[in-house]
Amino acid sequence: MTLPHPHPHAAPRLSDIAAQAEVSEATVSRVLNGKAGVAASTRRRVLAALDVLGYERPVRLRRRSAGLVGLVIPELTNPIFPAFAQIIEQSLAGHGYTPVLCTQMPGGATEDELVEQLEERGVTGIVFLSGLHADTRADPSRYTRLAARGVPFVLINGYNAHIDAPFVSPDDVAAARMAVRHLAELGHGRIGLAVGPARYVPSRRKAEGFAAALGESFGLSRGQAERRVRHTLFSVEGGHAAAATLLDDGCTGIVCGSDLMALGVVRAARQRGLSVPADLSVVGFDDSQLIAFTDPPLTTVRQPVQAMATAAVGALIEEIHERAAGRREPPRRTEFVFQPELVVRGSTGPVVRA
């Protein structure tokens, strides 16, 4: 479909907007004139069509923000974090809040410094994605103090029993289990795990699921399974380093803690003259947007980003409303756990040669 390129100040053409939003011109007219009788979802589609077509929204449709909400993420280089950020920001905007994205970088502001800056700007709440709450060595009292200052927050990826707040997580144990079972069904008898630092909750949970799956499929003890685990960095370089020792140990299948790590494993295999998947099968984790287009397309465990991000925003909005209603006691510690999905592509296959 070829979209028109109107002048930004041109009057919107009802026919173009109606076609883009897949509604009638009468519905578009009602939305643009601020009339009642249009479902909220339909109204959002019409406004989205305005944005896509390059029209400015009429002044009457620009609603006042309900407040600022901070989103603190560790980086933007791993594509799974921008994927989360986009959906969280869209969901916040749908509730009338203005998102403020804060990214940590090596040598840049720390999480505590970013939180301090957000509080200075009077944020209504904060979403933490893979932050210090996921690090078992970090002091969780920073979140207790944040709650005591009356700032609602929600935490994604990394449960901590010492923090009273809503948590949203994928089922990392189930993710590792389904990856191992997939490789075992393909005939792989020696499987390794390349995962991030052991101090992070998602890494520990994946290692737990991996060990359980090796016990179920091959009768390995926990100690035997742990010798197949390599804790390194959640990066291409980390996957490459882990693959070096796992390949030396004779692994024909490697489960990875992230898609970036899986790409590092593929690179390490090729540097040894090995073919993926003929000589080595590789399973990633996340299924970020471009992973289906790698060479070979990566088999991975899909993190349910849409559902997790939406649930996190919903939990935060509930916290904000309860605080506004005068609730004094801390929020109850709740973890919402979402089931991942195995997506089989070209990086895994049956054992061809040992």
> CA 216, CA 190: separation in Å to the nearest integer?
14
What pLDDT is recorded for position 331? 67
pLDDT tens column, 189-226:
999 999 999 999 999 999 999 999 999 999 999 999 99
Task: Name the phi and psi angles at 168, rounded to 5.
Answer: -130, 125
Would you list the domain boundaries of the chain? Answer: 14-61, 67-170+305-338, 172-302
Q: Given this chain, do its domains 67-170+305-338 and 172-302 carry the same CATH topology?
A: yes
> What is d(CA 167, CA 188) in angstroms, rounded to the nearest whole number?
35
What pLDDT is stored for residue 104 in this prediction? 84
pTM: predicted TM-score of the whole model, two decimal places: 0.84
pLDDT at position 330, please? Answer: 65
Taking 50 as the pLDDT cut, the residues of the chain under it are 1-5, 7-8
Residue 66 has a pLDDT of: 78
**Neighbour tally for 169: CB within 10 Å:** 20
Type of residue found at 351: V
Q: What topology is assigned to 67-170+305-338 in CATH?
A: Rossmann fold (3.40.50)
Residues in the chain: 354
List the CATH code of the domain at 14-61: 1.10.260.40
CA 2 to chain centre: 32
Q: Which CATH number fits domain 172-302: 3.40.30.10, 3.40.50.1450, 3.40.50.2300, 3.40.50.1000?
A: 3.40.50.2300
CA distance 184 to 179: 9
Q: Is the peptide bond before 340 cis (omega within 30 degrees of 0)?
A: no
Picking from 246, 264, 255, 287, the residue whose alpha carbon sits closest to that of residue 180 is: 255
CA distance 97 to 42: 19
DSSP notation for 274-333: --TTTT-EEEEEE--TTGGGSSSPPEEEEP-HHHHHHHHHHHHHHHHHHHHTT--SPPP-
- Decide the pairing of beta strands 166-170 and 98-103: unpaired
Q: Where are the beta strands (DSSP E) in 130-212?
A: 153-156, 166-170, 191-195
Which amino acid type is present at position 312? A
Contact indicator for 323, 150 with CB cutoff of 8 Å: yes
> Tell me, what's the pLDDT at 4?
46
Residue 195: per-residue pLDDT: 98
Q: What is the pLDDT of residue 63?
A: 62
The per-residue pLDDT for 64 is 67
What is the predicted pLDDT for the residue at 10? 57
Distance CA 350, CA 252 (A): 10
Q: Which letter does DSSP use for residue 135 in this model?
A: B
Interatomic CA distance for residues 36 and 168, integer angstroms: 36
Cβ atoms of 236 and 274 closer than 8 Å: no
One-letter amino acid at 65 equals S
Angle between helices 141-148 and 111-120 in degrees, nearest 10: 0
Task: Write down the pLDDT at residue 60.
Answer: 67
